[in-house]
């Protein structure tokens, strides 16, 4: 099971204890997966999804919030996935009214993604959490935190994406929107933001797994950075030391070390004797000892002299 599937499994099992939270989560599912037709008599309400968890959660929410189990059918959809259908017009009307998907004049939205999120549905903080939970269950996904940080919720319309973005911002979650073909994707790329959203949606087990993976990944990245830095420093030191030895050997052959000043001659001899030693250690071998900057100054002088000879 992927990490994203695990999150949805946990959200599927989480049922709000208060009716208003159950209605808010059902409203989110209707916004993302619901559609409405009007046959000869009454409303025809349908929830369709490729993920069976969405339809099963919808059925449970209808049972909890509307005290009903009859008049609702669950079946496989013709083009794949699953569908829940409410053919009872009175029941469908009540569901739409309570979830804020009926206009004030009593008419209905043909496409629920066009409808604004009703303030009454997400009035309380717990209801906002429930709506976000339903939105992610319906249209969300999240990458494996061991591989990278990316969470997204796919929306049909820009207005729908903007409303969801605003709802997330109330929890100080800074989501962005990008266009992908005909869809509008609300997404997060920061680990902290994804952790906050999982917490808001009350996917606490997934949050703990995410944070554990995040810590391991961050520690691994820190170790890799340090190793890379140390490797670069070692490479730089070895390269510099090799060049210094090369310069001194050139001076010995073309110029003669005996012609150098006492300080430079001693420095050249110590470097040849300890070709791999760092500058600070080299300074301790001199008589009298010299600091790192003094050693660097003398080696630079030897290098400049060697360059002049090469020219």
SS (H, E, C) 117-171: CCCCCCCCHHHHHHHHHHHHHHHEEECCCCCCCCEEEEECCHHHHHHHHHHHHCC
Asked if residue 288 has a cis previous peptide bond (ω within 30° of 0), the answer is yes
Give pLDDT, residue 104.
74
Within the chain, all domains assigned CATH 3.10.28.10 are found at 3-202
Distance from first CA to last CA of the chain, Å, rounded?
68
CA 209 to chain centre: 14
Give pLDDT, residue 195.
94
Residues 158-172: tens digit of each pLDDT = 999 999 999 999 999
Q: What is the pTM of this model?
A: 0.71
Q: Across the chain, what does the average pLDDT equal?
A: 86
Give pLDDT, residue 78.
67
Residues 35-94: tens digit of each pLDDT = 876 555 455 788 888 899 999 999 999 988 988 767 777 777 767 788 888 887 788 888
The CATH number of domain 3-202 is 1.10.1760.20: no
Give pLDDT, residue 254.
81
Give pLDDT, residue 187.
96
Residues 6+ apart with CB under 8 A from 179: 185
* Residues 33 and 138 sit within 8 Å (Cβ to Cβ): yes
Give pLDDT, residue 193.
94
Give pLDDT, residue 301.
86
Q: Which residue blocks in the chain are alpha helix, DSSP H?
A: 3-13, 19-33, 52-66, 89-98, 125-139, 158-169, 191-200, 204-254, 262-273, 279-285, 292-310
Indicate the helix (H) or strand (E) that contains 89. Answer: helix 89-98
Which stretches of the chain drop beneath a pLDDT of 50?
41
DSSP 257: G
* Residues 40 and 175 sit within 8 Å (Cβ to Cβ): no
35 DSSP β-pair partners: 46
* Distance (Å, whole) CA 245 – CA 270: 10
Give pLDDT, residue 46.
86
């Amino acid at each position: 099971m992927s990490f994203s599937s695990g999150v949805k499994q946990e959200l599927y099992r989480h049922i709000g204890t208060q009716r208003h939270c159950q209605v808010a989560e059902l409203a989110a599912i209707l916004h993302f997966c619901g559609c409405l037709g009007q046959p000869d008599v009454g409303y025809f309400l349908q929830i369709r999804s490729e993920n069976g968890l969405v339809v099963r959660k919808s059925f449970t929410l209808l049972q909890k919030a509307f005290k009903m189990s009859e008049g609702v059918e669950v079946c496989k959809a013709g083009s794949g996935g699953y569908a829940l259908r409410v053919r009872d017009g009175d029941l469908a009307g009540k569901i739409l009214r309570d979830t804020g998907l009926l206009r004030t004049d009593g008419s209905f939205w043909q496409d629920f993604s066009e409808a604004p999120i009703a303030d009454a549905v997400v009035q309380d903080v717990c209801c906002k959490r429930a709506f976000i939970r339903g939105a992610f269950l319906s249209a969300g996904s999240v990458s494996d935190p061991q591989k990278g940080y990316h969470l997204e919720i796919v929306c049909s319309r820009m207005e729908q994406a903007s409303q969801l973005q605003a709802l997330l911002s109330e929890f100080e979650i800074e989501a962005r929107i990008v266009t992908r073909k005909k869809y509008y994707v609300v997404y997060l790329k920061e680990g902290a933001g994804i952790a906050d959203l999982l917490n808001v949606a009350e996917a606490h087990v997934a949050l703990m797994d995410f944070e554990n993976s995040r810590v391991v990944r961050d520690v691994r990245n820190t170790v890799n950075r340090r190793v890379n830095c140390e490797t670069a420093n070692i490479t730089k030191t070895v390269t510099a030391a090799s060049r210094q030895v090369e310069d001194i050997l050139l001076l010995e052959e073309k110029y003669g070390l005996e012609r150098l000043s006492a300080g430079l001659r001693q420095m050249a001899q110590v470097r040849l004797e300890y070709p791999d030693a760092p500058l600070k250690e080299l300074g301790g071998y001199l008589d009298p000892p010299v600091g790192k900057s003094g050693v660097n100054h003398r080696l630079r002088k030897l290098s400049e002299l060697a360059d002049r000879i090469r020219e």
